[in-house]
């Protein structure tokens, strides 16, 4: 695999594009919004500048990485001649099914189709294509350039060969791939999201305040970031979406989202991305302080 298409220039998409390009792959970054593409490329450049400052890469390596990326707003043009497509669009099942139907029609028969979904069934996504054996999950962690883990999720029909290929490909990116099976939430979010939800319930029930809850987890359980701060960083809308997927998938009330989380999302309090969640990020330096904890 040499030519990689990444769909979505948001936080996850630009991070995935960054990693592939820095590892020497040719990357075609695709988004329907020219503004999003521009913002995504600017983010990649800023992250590379930070790496140059920290002497993790040279200025020449930064230039090569940026030259490995081309951008497209047209899906058909963007996926042309690619060996692998990684979809990193919004965590919405209908949107992902639509994208994969289109990809199946326009991509070469041997192109592997991967999704960065953090909770949606790989088997369901594969079911709208004529190549379910070549559909797989590649769940990168945020921020992608820093976090080592990639959950490699096999759908019901994903072939052994494709799974092995994606496991090895992940290693070439400097990541540690872990193979898991296709159940709601996979491993990472099946364990993480109930913990975040329980932390929100603890706040909702008045057991303790935001900073107190986060302090207990940071100092008592050695978490680098408190659960409420982490929820803000992930995006409360994303947390709600994942919990809803698990609740629908398992029909178990333990995955039901806390009413406080539901109301905050309805009110547009989504965390860092909206400027307010469990913490106030109205000043840009406050939002940067959260992400910088991962970049030391």
From 71, 118, 121, 241, active-site residue: 118
138 is known to lie in a ligand binding site: no
From 151, 197, 241, 274, active-site residue: 151
CA–CA distance, 208 with 205 (Å, rounded to integer): 8
Only one residue has tokens 């192109």, namely 111
CA–CA distance, 37 with 125 (Å, rounded to integer): 25
31 is known to lie in a ligand binding site: yes
8 is known to lie in a ligand binding site: yes
Answer yes or no: are the C-beta atoms of 134 and 161 closer than 8 Å: no
Q: Could you tell me which of 271, 274, 201 has the C-alpha nearest to residue 235? A: 271
From 139, 170, 199, 241, active-site residue: 139
12 is known to lie in a ligand binding site: yes
Answer yes or no: are the C-beta atoms of 130 and 177 closer than 8 Å: no
130 among known catalytic residues: no
Answer yes or no: are the C-beta atoms of 152 and 180 closer than 8 Å: yes
91 is known to lie in a ligand binding site: yes
273 is known to lie in a ligand binding site: yes
Which DSSP helix (H) or strand (E) runs through 177? strand 176-181
165 is known to lie in a ligand binding site: no
Answer yes or no: are the C-beta atoms of 20 and 144 closer than 8 Å: no
Only one residue has tokens 């979406």, namely 241
Which DSSP helix (H) or strand (E) runs through 153? strand 149-154
61 among known catalytic residues: no
Answer yes or no: are the C-beta atoms of 180 and 153 closer than 8 Å: yes
130 is known to lie in a ligand binding site: no
From 189, 197, 199, 274, active-site residue: 189
171 is known to lie in a ligand binding site: no
Q: Is 208 exposed, middle or buried (0-12, 13-18, 19+ CB in 10 A)?
A: middle
189 among known catalytic residues: yes
284 among known catalytic residues: no
CA–CA distance, 167 with 116 (Å, rounded to integer): 14
Return the percent helix, strand and coil in the chain, to nearest 5.
Answer: 50, 15, 35
273 DSSP 8-state letter: G
13 is known to lie in a ligand binding site: yes
Phi, psi (degrees; rounded to nearest 5) at 44: -60, -45
Binding residues: 8-13, 31, 91, 96, 118, 142, 273
Which active-site residues does the annotation give? 118, 139, 151, 189
């Amino acid at each position: 695999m040499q030519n990689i298409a990444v769909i979505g220039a948001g936080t996850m998409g630009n991070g995935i594009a960054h990693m592939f390009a820095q590892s020497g792959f040719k990357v075609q970054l695709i988004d329907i919004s020219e503004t999003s593409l521009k913002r995504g490329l600017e983010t990649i450049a800023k992250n590379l500048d930070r790496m140059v400052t920290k002497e993790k890469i040279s200025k020449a390596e930064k230039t090569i990485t940026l030259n490995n990326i081309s951008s497209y707003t047209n899906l058909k043009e963007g996926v042309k001649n690619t060996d692998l497509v990684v979809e990193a669009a919004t965590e919405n099942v209908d949107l992902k099914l639509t994208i994969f139907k289109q990809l199946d029609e326009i991509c070469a028969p041997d192109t592997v189709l991967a999704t960065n979904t953090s909770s949606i069934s790989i088997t369901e996504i594969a079911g709208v294509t004529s190549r379910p054996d070549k559909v797989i999950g590649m769940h990168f962690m945020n921020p992608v350039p820093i976090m080592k883990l990639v959950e490699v999720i096999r759908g019901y029909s994903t072939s052994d060969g494709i799974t092995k290929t994606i496991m090895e490909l992940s290693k070439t990116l400097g990541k540690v791939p872990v193979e898991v099976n296709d159940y709601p939430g996979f491993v990472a979010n099946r364990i993480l999201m109930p913990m975040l939800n329980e932390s929100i319930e603890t706040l909702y029930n008045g057991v303790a305040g935001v900073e107190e809850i986060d302090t207990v987890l940071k100092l008592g359980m050695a978490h680098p970031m408190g659960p409420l701060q982490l929820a803000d960083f992930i995006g409360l809308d994303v947390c709600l979406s994942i919990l809803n997927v698990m609740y629908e998938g398992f029909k178990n009330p333990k995955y039901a989202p806390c009413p406080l989380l539901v109301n905050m999302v309805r009110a547009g309090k989504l965390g860092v991305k909206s400027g307010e969640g469990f913490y106030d990020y109205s000043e840009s330096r406050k939002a940067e302080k959260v992400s910088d904890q991962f970049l030391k």
